Amino acid sequence: MRLTAILFVLTLAPALPGPARADQTGMCDSPPCTREELETYERRVVKHLLRVQQLKFEAHNRGDKKVAERYEREFKRTQDRRAQARRAIENAHD
């Protein structure tokens, strides 16, 4: 069930609306980023996304509402970062 929820969230993240052009600052050392650098960045963000989601669920199950809400905000920010990375990969020219 948890895996299904994770996959559902990961498939929806790129479909979220956002700017037409992804900001590549922070995605690589020297923009414009190569496709390989963008894919490496996305893998790192996905790992973080899964880790934050797990921590959010654990806090929720412990009944720690304040911590769960903080992880929820971080989860949403990380989803946005992944969506930006996906758009940058789609727009990469190499």
User: Please, what is the Cα angle at 12 between 21 and 55, to 5 degrees?
Assistant: 105
Assign residue 63 a region (left: φ > 0; alpha: ψ between -120 and 50; beta: otherwise). Answer: left
Look up residue 19 and give its amino acid: P
Asked if residues 89 and 45 have their Cβ atoms less than 8 Å apart, the reply is no
Residue 26, pLDDT score: 76
Please state, as a whole number, how many other Cβ atoms lie within 10 Å of the Cβ of residue 3. Answer: 7
9-66 pLDDT, tens digit per residue, is 556 555 544 443 445 557 878 878 889 999 999 999 999 999 999 999 999 999 999 9
Pairwise CA distance, residues 12 & 49, whole Å? 13
Residue 3 has pLDDT above 80, yes or no: no
- With CA atoms as reference, report the closest residue to 50 among 92, 22, 83, 9: 9
| 0.85 exceeded by pTM | no
User: Which of 9-13, 53-57, 80-84, 89-93 is the least confident region?
Assistant: 9-13
